[in-house]
Amino acid sequence: MSELQINTTQNVKINFTASGVGERLMAFIIDMLIKIGYITILNMSLGAFQDMDQWSQIGINTLLGLPIVFYTLVLEALLEGQTIGKKIMKIKVVKIDGYQASLADYVVRWFFRIVDIYIFGLGFFVILFSKRSQRLGDMAAGTSVILLKDKVNISHTILEELTEDYKPTYPTVIKLSDNDARIIKDTFTTAKLANDYQTLIKLRNKITEVIEVKAINGNDIQFIDTILKDYNYYTQSM
């Protein structure tokens, strides 16, 4: 399985595992079984329309067949990149640039199913040789399918858990950049685990110098933790 790096809207790089052919094939089979089940029930119910003229029957058959045709497109749009099969297999369609895929992206993927799936299953062979495990529809839409089993912990990014009533303490943290915040968090986490108080002191001094704060609240650990939370509070509000 290949690694897929997504750059989020907050300039945070997160690595996901791209879904392989196996998961996508199983999701396809599950979705296909659902469609077959629908068709079976539909055929059992069509007996009630046998007395209608030919054109009426064609119209009803066409109308009732639309859920099969648009199954993937509608579900991916409503479930944000998942069908029932994808949900069961814990995979999801995402944009390569980290944004949520749009309806237009799902339409492009759906349209290319004609080539990817129904012409000798070409898309499955393309996935095998694609660096991002993309089929032709993914390449055209700028999307890929990722595994959701590898949950990304918030501690792996510069993001911090904030309560709804959180009140910031140091407004001048906006002088920091995303890269500064990432370095601070990495250094802070490592130093705290190692009980490296000298590094914590140096880190505190550097932060107070950059954001131009003379007095701090709490000890070094509490201060740096507050800085990270404040930074996220202000940058998320921008």
Percent of the chain with pLDDT over 70: 83
Residue 157 pLDDT more than 60? no
The pTM of this model reads: 0.60
Token pair in block for residue 2: 């290949």
pLDDT, tens digit, for every residue of 85-143?
999 999 999 888 656 788 999 999 999 998 998 887 888 889 888 888 899 999 999 99
Evaluate if residue 189 carries a pLDDT over 50: yes
Over residues 41-60, mean pLDDT: 73
Which tokens is 173 given? 């943290």
Other C-beta atoms closer than 10 Å to the C-beta of 123 total 25
Calculate the alpha carbon distances from 177 to 90, 98, 121, 127 in Å. 35, 20, 47, 37
Contact 27, 81 (CB under 8 A): no
- Among 126, 103, 101, smallest CA distance to 116 is for 126
In terms of Cα–Cα distance, which of 172, 184, 108 is closest to 143?
Answer: 108
pLDDT band at 24 (very low <50, low <70, confident <90, very high): very high
Retrieve residue 53's tokens.
Answer: 């003229």
Through-space distance between the first and last CA atoms of the chain, rounded to whole angstroms: 36
- Is the separation of the CB atoms in 187 and 207 below 8 Å? no
Q: Locate tokens 């070409």: which residue?
A: 122
Q: Per-residue pLDDT averaged across 14-28, rounded?
A: 84
The per-residue pLDDT for 55 is 77
